[in-house]
Chains A and B, each alone.
Chain A
Amino acid sequence: NAGVTQTPKFRILKIGQSMTLQCTQDMNHNYMYWYRQDPGMGLKLIYYSVGAGITDKGEVPNGYNVSRSTTEDFPLRLELAAPSQTSVYFCATLLGDRGFFGANVLTFGAGSRLTVL
């Protein structure tokens, strides 16, 4: 049981290049999220998905795209990389919205560190 797997762990991009950050989970969780963490800051939500075929924007979606064709995978695509996208990216999953009873806790991947030069 690997949990949430993110690849790559590190990547350096040139301005204008494109790339996809991969996120795979084996917990059969419905909800998946992409967050970015800028140096010395908290996490900000980029996109999220409540199930296969359904995605929605978070707080900072500009410059990113996502897709959710299966329950397991939730890739994040950067089309035209910019220095402002230098950050650590976290994918996270949640079993489902069981309400506020109990700690329905996000499970995070290990993160992907992206540098755009």
Chain B
Amino acid sequence: AQKITQTQPGMFVQEKEAVTLDCTYDTSDQSYGLFWYKQPSSGEMIFLIYQGSYDEQNATEGRYSLNFQKARKSTNLVISASQLGDSAMYFCAMRGYTGTASKLTFGTGTRLQVTL
């Protein structure tokens, strides 16, 4: 079984500051993928960034980067230079293989509020 834990229900950050959203996971799979999605108030799910379990370097995508610590089973999302438009729910998810197909298991999310 796979489990994703996001322990921060809500976070505040000032505009232009950096913020780290925490995510830990548990799996018995040797290979897996880790994803972050953003869900703004409009409700759609927007893919942000991906980290493969065998990737040696931390993933980066523009202002988004991951602090991937495999031994600690954590993959924290760092958003640099926060913008008001970053205010949203952020979900960490893990993709593993169970049965016949790969599935994404989601955490409960962190609500980020960017303030002036």
Interface, chain A (partner B; CB < 8 A): 31, 33, 35, 40-45, 48, 50, 54, 56, 58, 88, 90, 92, 94, 97, 99-106, 108, 110-111, 113
Contact B50 A105 (CB under 8 A): yes
Task: Choose, from B14-22, B68-76, B77-85, B95-103, the stretch at the interface.
Answer: B95-103
Alpha-carbon distance A113/B43, docked complex (angstroms) = 10
Contact A111 B43 (CB under 8 A): yes
By a CB distance below 8 angstroms, the chain B residues around A104 are: 33, 95, 102
16 contacts between A and B (CB under 8 A): A33-B104, A41-B109, A42-B107, A43-B93, A43-B104, A45-B103, A48-B103, A56-B99, A56-B101, A90-B45, A92-B45, A99-B31, A103-B52, A104-B102, A105-B50, A113-B43
Alpha-carbon distance A11/B41, docked complex (angstroms) = 19
Residues 51-76 of B contacting A (Cβ, < 8 Å)? 52-54
Contact A48 B108 (CB under 8 A): no
Contact A108 B103 (CB under 8 A): no
Q: Which of B53, B54, B91, B97 contacts A43 (CB 8 A)?
A: B91
